[in-house]
Chain A
Amino acid sequence: MSEQVSRRDFLKLAGLGAATTAVLTGCGPASRYVTREPYQQMPEYNSVGQSTYYATTCRECAAACGLVVRTYQGRAIKVEGNANHPLNLGKTCARGQATLHGLYNPDRVTDPIKKSRGDSAGEIVDWNAAIQAVADALKNNQPDEIAFLLGTSSDHLFDLVTDLANSTGINAPIRFGAMSMFESRATLSKAAENLFGQTGLPWFDVGNADVVFSFGANFLETWLSPLSYTRGFAQMRKATETKLRGRFVQFEARMSATGGKADEWVSLRPGTEALVALAIGRLVAEIRGGSVPRIFSSVEPADAAEQAGVKLEALEHLAEMFANSKAVAIPGGPALGQSNGLAVAEAVLALNALVNNFGKSGGVYLSALAPNQTEYNRPASSQEMQALVEKMKSGAIKVLFVHGVNPVFEIPNSLGFKDALSNVGQVISFATFPDETALEADYVLPDHHGLEGWGYQRVTTGTDLPVLSGAQPVVTPYYNTRSTADVLIAAAQLAGGSFASALPFADEVEFLEKKVSALMSESNGSFSALDSTAFMATFQQFGGWWKNVDSKVTPNAGSVLNKNVKAEVAEFAGEGEFFFVPFMSPTLGEAGANKPWLQELPDPTTTVMWTTWVEINPETAHELHLENDEVVRVISEAGEIEVPVYLYPAIRPDTIAIPFGQGHTAYGRYAENRGANPADLLGKHFNEAGDLAFAGMKVRIEKTGKTKPVSRLESRMGVYGEELGEEH
């Protein structure tokens, strides 16, 4: 894109093909090829009183849902789902809706700053100096002393850094997010690899199943691709003329928002998921007749039931349900974040083999790969993060670039990331918000907000089609920020040598164009174009490119039932009478705490707003003389936090749970000094797949004598029916 193209021409090129209700435009006002014009000469799609809609991709999590953002006179007004996007079909989640509160957040990093660590303020530098600093950092260190830590939601940047790494020898970029940690993604894909011999992320076709067994997977909240799973859930639940209402069973120690929707909620003792899954498998096999497959043979149902604290009859009843219908079993969430998480995942996946649903409607698939992807590429597991931390500690990393992730907050303290930072010579953060990691950085070179920037994101799971979701600026950057890709390209040019040749682009858009137009030659695309400019414009206009071919992969079921899974109970770290279940806040996610409307959304299960709480069974609380709102100290081997009590009726008496998402010490006025971070309690224990055994801790609680009124939307009297007048 060497010559300048006006916005008007861009629109002409894009044509009028959009089938959404709104007219989508192909190029955002942030395009550097466009000069701002006075209102009298506004382009027709940006006239006074008319809204303009831009398609882009949501960056609030890694799922890559398509958005259409309504803008009005250069301001982003409302986020809507892109109705054509194969992943979310026009739907959005609460976090996607609130992304505008990130864009117009009053606490963004407004300028590039050079600062000393621990200070939130610093000296504002101009971008040339900032780029020079990045170039120096690249140039003045050995390639293997340079590391990039990226978030899960900017695939084009990841590709750019990967290209850079491939040709310069710097460390390959590492991607991390607390969300992927709590999802136990690594465990899930590792289990699939072990059982099927194929790499990939399993995809469960909930929508076409009649019975869904979920072992800890919180797929209606944040797990993998919540919008797509929610759509599947709705389809499964709805009775039609041809099918009955599907049934859903959730196995977990603490009722999650997903578990709340279950027809049957089985509260098993944490750590016994593998046993229970195997026991059900054995019972199912017995019901279906024939011999019990090897994988299930090592478990005794009665034993497993006793270990798990459920009735054998209950398991038999569930097995009956599973055996006689189109069933699917999903492993996920805290069930996998335990010492035997991999065994859990394998055992649960094996259940599917039993009912032979691999590659069948309502069964298990491996997710379709995105168009420009050759194999599934997952974010780093916690153990891989630990390896990075070790390298940093040893001084092997001299420069750390951080983008799109807030490791100081998101990585549990026990892994020692923050301490390791002090052994890193230079930390350069590209944070949009003044988060905890930016606080510890030497430079903060703010990237645009996701709605101000270009990019693409691969859809890794959730749809049949290979989808590359496109992102474009919907508004001009509000502050003096600059796209990190641009900064890196410019810095690489300045650094010269292999750096310059690795990124031979004028800017980010050119890079994108090169990457995206590579798809032009593909067949069955959602659109085609004659030249790369038109292709790129249409890509932006439609919010992405996808191949209209069902590309889900059927797992190789062959030997699954003859594998071996250790039928044992997970090990728990630490002393204490309570199992500890940390969970991702469904409304806040990993990075939502600075968005005021997300703070004010009530948690789906407890209706708590604006703070952290610890869920305790009312019976247990009664025994411990604990009341609602009483602040307790939760102590694990790794640390302690203070949180107010919420008497939660749907949690095992031997378990407590705390949501993740609050407890920031930086990150803007709405997030700072609010609640507590349960990651502080997590010890350095991993499962066999390298995921953190975050649900494998035991904790104890102490009274503090303090109270903190927890803001709840729900009544404290009315939601428990009969016991009116008593506070809950």
Chain B
Amino acid sequence: MTTLSDLKISEVKLEGEHVGKWGMVIDQDICTGCQACVAACSMENNIPFVGEEDSGYGRAMHWIRIERFWEGEYPEVKMTNQQPMMCQQCGSAPCEPVCPAFATVHSQAEQLNLQVYNRCVGTRYCANNCPYQVRTFNWRDYQRPEPLPNQFNPDVTVRRRGVMEKCTFCIQRIHKAQDKAKSEGREVADGEFTTACAQACPSNAITFGRIDKEDTLVYQMMHHGQSHGKKHLEELGTLPSITYMNGGGA
């Protein structure tokens, strides 16, 4: 007879649980909060700067933000480990079903959370429903005076006002690498390319790669260091693709 204690909570699986395809491991312990990822992301993804007033009013459009909290009071004050926050590319993303226009959907091929700028009508429901609060909205047509637009990345759409956007895991780089691999008749190799943030990160705190294969670096990091790796707000059943590590001895 099955008793209650025989049921382990770990056996309760979410319906349709899957591992995802692309993932990231972020080591908060070595993240120095230097903002290189933020700058790299903004440059790669044509993110507009919003100016002093708007940025101070919760309208900064960083796709990745580095959170830090305070613990204790002087002199026992401690700055917590930096926490880079970007779209977690949830396997079961709360933002997707609530969009009336299918502007944010799940990519079955890439197992990513897509944002289709053209479809977006700006209800901002997705952003409300994102437990990670990582979606940014084009509140205005933020101006980039000439000749700044020369710097635009031609692989990434420039968004206009009224459109929601968020971290894409640099999907333009994913596609480029896949196209290249396909033309060479092979699969994308682990570490063949990386996202702008991971590429810039001076402390290598961000590692990006495939997580659906066991021999990849990110998979190894996720599972090897499981004792101190965690996913944010996992309890909501969002199946995030980013694992956060917080130091601690091996």
Binding site for B on A (CB under 8 A): 21, 72, 75-81, 88, 90-98, 100-101, 103-106, 220-221, 226-227, 230-231, 233-234, 237-241, 244-245, 255, 257-258, 260-261, 265, 267, 478, 586-587, 596-602, 604-605, 607, 609-611, 617-619, 649-653, 669, 674, 709-714, 719-721
| Interface membership of B147, Cβ < 8 A | yes
Q: Which residues of B contact A619 (CB under 8 A)?
A: 74
| Interface membership of B214, Cβ < 8 A | no
Q: Given A77-B153, A100-B151 in contact, is the A650-B203 Cβ separation under 8 Å? A: no
Contact between A104 and B32, CB atoms less than 8 A apart: no
CA distance A713 to B64 in the complex (A): 12
CA distance A600 to B196 in the complex (A): 18
Contact between B68 and A260, CB atoms less than 8 A apart: yes
Q: Which residues of B contact A709 (CB under 8 A)?
A: 56
CA distance A134 to B56 in the complex (A): 46
Further pairs besides A88-B202, A94-B35: 14, Cβ < 8 Å: A78-B44, A91-B36, A97-B39, A226-B202, A227-B202, A230-B32, A230-B34, A255-B79, A260-B79, A261-B79, A600-B55, A610-B55, A653-B74, A719-B68
Q: Which residues of B contact A80 (CB under 8 A)?
A: 199-200
Select A98's contact among B34, B39, B78, beta carbons within 8 Å.
Answer: B39
Cβ-closest chain A residue relative to B27: A238
Select A650's contact among B52, B74, B192, beta carbons within 8 Å.
Answer: B74
Q: Which residues of A contact B30 (CB under 8 A)?
A: 233-234, 237-238
Min CB distance B148 to A, Å, is: 5
Contact between B202 and A92, CB atoms less than 8 A apart: yes
| Interface membership of B77, Cβ < 8 A | yes
Binds A, one of B97-105, B112-120, B124-132, B242-250: B242-250
Q: Which residues of B contact A610 (CB under 8 A)?
A: 51-52, 55-56
Select A244's contact among B36, B201, B249, beta carbons within 8 Å.
Answer: B249
Cβ-closest chain A residue relative to B248: A245
Contact between B55 and A604, CB atoms less than 8 A apart: no
Q: Which residues of A contact B44 (CB under 8 A)?
A: 78
Q: Given A106-B147, A239-B250 in contact, is the A601-B205 Cβ separation under 8 Å? A: no
Chain B 39-50 interface mask (CB, 8 Å, partner A; 1/0) = 110111000011
Contact between A92 and B203, CB atoms less than 8 A apart: no
CA distance A42 to B166 in the complex (A): 36
Interface residues of B in 67-100 (CB under 8 A from A): 67-71, 73-75, 77-79, 82
21 residue pairs A–B, Cβ–Cβ below 8 Å: A88-B202, A91-B201, A93-B34, A94-B36, A94-B38, A97-B40, A105-B148, A230-B203, A231-B202, A239-B247, A244-B249, A267-B75, A587-B35, A597-B49, A602-B60, A604-B66, A609-B55, A609-B60, A709-B56, A714-B67, A719-B69
Q: Which residues of A contact B215 (CB under 8 A)?
A: none
Select A710's contact among B56, B62, B201, beta carbons within 8 Å.
Answer: B56
Select B53's contact among A76, A105, A711, A720, beta carbons within 8 Å.
Answer: A711
Contact between B154 and A72, CB atoms less than 8 A apart: yes
Contact between B43 and A257, CB atoms less than 8 A apart: no
Q: Which residues of A contact B79 (CB under 8 A)?
A: 255, 260-261, 605, 650
Chain B 1-36 interface mask (CB, 8 Å, partner A; 1/0) = 000000000000000000000000001011011111
Question: Which of B43, B65, B204 has the most C-beta atoms of chain A within 10 angstroms of its own C-beta?
Answer: B43
Q: Which residues of B contact A227 (CB under 8 A)?
A: 202
Contact between A245 and B40, CB atoms less than 8 A apart: no
Interface residues of B in 148-183 (CB under 8 A from A): 148-154
Cβ-closest chain B residue relative to A268: B75
CA distance A258 to B79 in the complex (A): 11
Q: Main secondary structure on chain B at its contact with chain A?
A: loop
Question: Which of A77, A80, A258, A651 has the most C-beta atoms of chain B within 10 angstroms of its own C-beta?
Answer: A77
Contact between B205 and A234, CB atoms less than 8 A apart: yes
Q: Which residues of A contact B202 (CB under 8 A)?
A: 88, 91-93, 226-227, 230-231, 234
Q: Given A90-B199, A106-B146, A245-B247 in contact, is the A601-B35 Cβ separation under 8 Å? A: yes
Q: Which residues of B contact A90 (CB under 8 A)?
A: 199
Contact between A257 and B75, CB atoms less than 8 A apart: no
Min CB distance B193 to A, Å, is: 7
Question: Which of B32, B70, B193 has the most C-beta atoms of chain A within 10 angstroms of its own C-beta?
Answer: B32
| Interface membership of B185, Cβ < 8 A | no
A-B complex: 10 closest residue pairs judged by Cβ atoms: A711-B56, A610-B52, A234-B203, A260-B79, A97-B39, A239-B250, A604-B33, A94-B39, A234-B30, A230-B202
Q: Which residues of B contact A88 (CB under 8 A)?
A: 202
Contact between A77 and B32, CB atoms less than 8 A apart: no
Min CB distance A201 to B, Å, is: 20
CA distance A260 to B62 in the complex (A): 22
| Count of chain A to chain B residue pairs whose CB atoms are closer than 8 Å in the complex | 212
Q: Which residues of A contact B52 (CB under 8 A)?
A: 599, 609-611, 674, 711
CA distance A618 to B77 in the complex (A): 12
Q: Given A91-B202, A234-B205 in contact, is the A596-B36 Cβ separation under 8 Å? A: no
Contact between B151 and A104, CB atoms less than 8 A apart: yes
Contact between B151 and A76, CB atoms less than 8 A apart: yes
Binding site for A on B (CB under 8 A): 27, 29-30, 32-36, 38-40, 42-44, 49-53, 55-57, 60, 62, 65-71, 73-75, 77-79, 82, 145-154, 192-193, 196, 199-205, 247-250
Select B193's contact among A21, A103, A258, beta carbons within 8 Å.
Answer: A21
Contact between A92 and B200, CB atoms less than 8 A apart: yes
CA distance A602 to B62 in the complex (A): 10
Cβ-closest chain B residue relative to A258: B32
Cβ-closest chain A residue relative to B78: A265
Cβ-closest chain B residue relative to A238: B30
Contact between A241 and B34, CB atoms less than 8 A apart: no
Contact between A237 and B200, CB atoms less than 8 A apart: no
Q: Which residues of B contact A77 (CB under 8 A)?
A: 151-154
Select B70's contact among A226, A239, A650, beta carbons within 8 Å.
Answer: A650
Q: Given A75-B150, A78-B44, A230-B202 in contact, is the A596-B49 Cβ separation under 8 Å? A: yes
Q: Which residues of A contact B149 (CB under 8 A)?
A: 104
Q: Which residues of B contact A719 (CB under 8 A)?
A: 67-70
CA distance A140 to B30 in the complex (A): 57
Select B34's contact among A105, A106, A221, A599, beta carbons within 8 Å.
Answer: A221
Contact between B247 and A237, CB atoms less than 8 A apart: yes
Min CB distance A183 to B, Å, is: 17
Q: Which residues of B contact A721 (CB under 8 A)?
A: 69-71
Min CB distance A21 to B, Å, is: 7
CA distance A244 to B29 in the complex (A): 13
Min CB distance B60 to A, Å, is: 6
Contact between A257 and B154, CB atoms less than 8 A apart: no
Cβ-closest chain B residue relative to A709: B56
Contact between B204 and A234, CB atoms less than 8 A apart: yes
Cβ-closest chain B residue relative to A242: B250
CA distance A294 to B33 in the complex (A): 41
CA distance A129 to B50 in the complex (A): 41
Cβ-closest chain B residue relative to A106: B145
Contact between A81 and B38, CB atoms less than 8 A apart: no
Contact between A601 and B39, CB atoms less than 8 A apart: yes
Contact between A233 and B249, CB atoms less than 8 A apart: no
CA distance A94 to B38 in the complex (A): 8
CA distance A80 to B39 in the complex (A): 11
CA distance A162 to B26 in the complex (A): 47
Q: Which residues of B contact A92 (CB under 8 A)?
A: 36, 40, 200, 202
Q: Which residues of B contact A260 (CB under 8 A)?
A: 33, 68, 79
Cβ-closest chain B residue relative to A611: B52
Contact between B32 and A604, CB atoms less than 8 A apart: yes
Contact between A720 and B70, CB atoms less than 8 A apart: yes
Contact between A233 and B32, CB atoms less than 8 A apart: yes
